[in-house]
């Protein structure tokens, strides 16, 4: 189907198509998947920060 933003792939497109067609399960699944991806990215950045500070001798 056509989406108003032109997005055809990804979690944003999944959210938009779910809301467009009234598929609440699809919306919630995409929302939780996006939250998990965000949590993983925050954890990765935290690990990089910790390692960088340790190498610089500024470990907390």
pLDDT higher than threshold 70 for residue 5: no
**pLDDT tens column, 10-51:** 888 888 888 888 889 988 999 999 999 999 999 999 999 999
Query: pTM of the entire structure?
Result: 0.70
Question: For residues 51 and 28, what is the distance between their CA atoms, to the nearest angstrom?
Answer: 35
Question: For residues 47 and 41, what is the distance between their CA atoms, to the nearest angstrom?
Answer: 10
């Amino acid at each position: 189907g056509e989406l108003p933003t032109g997005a055809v792939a990804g979690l944003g497109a999944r959210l938009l198509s779910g809301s467009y067609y009234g598929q609440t399960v699809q919306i919630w699944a995409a929302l939780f998947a996006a939250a998990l991806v965000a949590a993983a990215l925050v954890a990765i950045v935290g690990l990089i920060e910790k390692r960088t500070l340790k190498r610089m001798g500024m470990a907390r």
